[in-house]
Amino acid sequence: MVKYIYQEFKSVLNKLKFPDSWFWARYTLNTYSGCAHACIYCDARSERYYIEDFENEVIIKTNFDKKLDQRLKRARTLLPDVIAPGGVNDAYQPIEKKIEHTRKVLEVIAKHKYPINIATKSKLVTRDIDILKKIADDTWCTVGFSISTTDEELAEFLEPYSSSPSERLEALKILKKEAPHIQVGTYFIPIIPFLADDDENLENIIKQSNNAGADFVLFSPGLTMRDSQAKYFLKKLKESNYKHVVKPLLELFKGQMHPPSEYHKKFNNKLWNLCQKYKVNVRVKRWIPSDFRKWNYKLSELLLNKEYIDALKTGKSNKTLMWAGLNLNNLEESILDVYKRGELHTIKNFNPKIIEIIEPYLEKSKELKQKKGLEKFL
């Protein structure tokens, strides 16, 4: 039986130094602490999160909506940017149905016209389609369903209190049908070695997401195995019908937190090919502001997507490209002005190779003699 504790917290919104290049979030918020979905692999059980009894004691953060409203109202230093609710909890965990806590927070986000990216394992998100539609109309709204397996029995073991995979796919379908301008997709994260990384499951997830109308499938091979989270996961496996995977798992991880890079490469490759086969995007399309950050964000998306896809294909990550993309988000003026002054090299990590990638786009804009030029070109 889950114990619910009401508690007021000082801070409601966390600003990231750089937008996260997968979900494009600049801000995170957690309406709850702890998660009654109780997925047995959940990384929130790691000691680094300091959450005592993660799934049995859930804290409901009181006055969250009012505090967020005040925070966004007083926000002289904040610029609207993507908010991602729920990092180490699900904003739509079971209690949400009764108390509508996340819903009230969404109303505040809609009022202040901030874009949003929600990741959930619950079909309950469809209840809030009215607010999500409004956010999508005014700015940008993305909803991603975390799905690790289409095997309902395995899912019940791994994620005992969330909606079943077929219910999540059905919810995705409903959102796409009723509000096509909400970007929807699947977060195929984590991909659990020996339980959910067989070819059939990989293909099922991509195919079924595509059939349901997913705009993207974001995937990340492997799983984190960290201190108390790893202990809990292995204990649950040993007590189950899936105990045969314990030995190969330990052999694969060799005491490390992540599987070896060959594992990542192999599965990235398989998933990339499947996404090509079903013509599924492997990236979330980014929210673009209309202020001075417009081209910074668009070109940052271009660099970060290039880095991501190149790494998928080659297995090698280009850190300079990644940092150039990330730093561009924090430029305090438009890149078009920096370009006009001939000072692109002054942007952090903009070496000649990065400038070579970016310049054709900026050049095109000059040719078209209007800032709209890039829009047509990109």
Q: Where do contacts with ligand SF4 occur on this chain (CB under 6 A)?
A: 35, 37-39, 42, 44, 88-90, 121, 159, 162
HEC states along 34-48?
CCCCCCCCCHHHCHH
Contacts of 161 (CB under 8 A, 6+ apart): 36, 37, 38, 93, 94
Q: Cβ 88 to ligand SF4, closest distance in Å?
A: 6
HEC states along 97-147?
HHHCHHHHHHHHHHHCCCCEEEEECCHHHHHHHHHHHHHHHHCCEEEEEEC
Contacts of 292 (CB under 8 A, 6+ apart): 333, 334
Which is nearer to ligand SF4, 37 or 101 (by Cβ)? 37
Which is nearer to ligand SF4, 150 or 365 (by Cβ)? 150
Which is nearer to ligand SF4, 148 or 318 (by Cβ)? 148
Which is nearer to ligand SF4, 284 or 362 (by Cβ)? 284
Which is nearer to ligand SF4, 124 or 136 (by Cβ)? 124
Contacts of 124 (CB under 8 A, 6+ apart): 92, 96, 97, 163
Which is nearer to ligand SF4, 44 or 245 (by Cβ)? 44
Three-state DSSP class for 186? strand
Can you give the C-alpha Rg of the chain in angstroms? 21
Q: Cβ 227 to ligand SF4, closest distance in Å?
A: 16
Residues 359, 261: Cα–Cα separation, whole Å: 33
**Angle subtended at Cα 297 by Cα 84 and Cα 76, rounded to the nearest 5 degrees:** 65
Kindly tell me the burial class for residue 29, based on how many C-beta atoms sit within 10 Å of its own C-beta (0-12, 13-18, 19 or more). buried
Q: Cβ 376 to ligand SF4, closest distance in Å?
A: 40
Which is nearer to ligand SF4, 43 or 69 (by Cβ)? 43
CA 43 to chain centre: 15
Which is nearer to ligand SF4, 121 or 298 (by Cβ)? 121
Measured CA to CA in angstroms, residue 188 lies from 165, 183, 192, 198 at distances of 11, 16, 10, 13
Q: Cβ 39 to ligand SF4, closest distance in Å?
A: 3
Q: Cβ 170 to ligand SF4, closest distance in Å?
A: 18
Q: Cβ 116 to ligand SF4, closest distance in Å?
A: 17
Which is nearer to ligand SF4, 80 or 85 (by Cβ)? 85
Q: Cβ 258 to ligand SF4, closest distance in Å?
A: 17
Find, among 55, 126, 114, 128, the residue nearest to 90 by Cα: 55
Contacts of 77 (CB under 8 A, 6+ apart): none
Which is nearer to ligand SF4, 92 or 253 (by Cβ)? 92
Residue 183's H or E segment, with its range, is strand 183-191
Q: Cβ 92 to ligand SF4, closest distance in Å?
A: 9
Q: Cβ 38 to ligand SF4, closest distance in Å?
A: 6
Q: Cβ 97 to ligand SF4, closest distance in Å?
A: 15
Question: Dihedral, CA atoms, 116, 121, 126, 132, nearest 10 degrees?
Answer: 0
- Are 199 and 231 spatial neighbours (Cβ–Cβ below 8 Å)? no
- Are 81 and 19 spatial neighbours (Cβ–Cβ below 8 Å)? yes
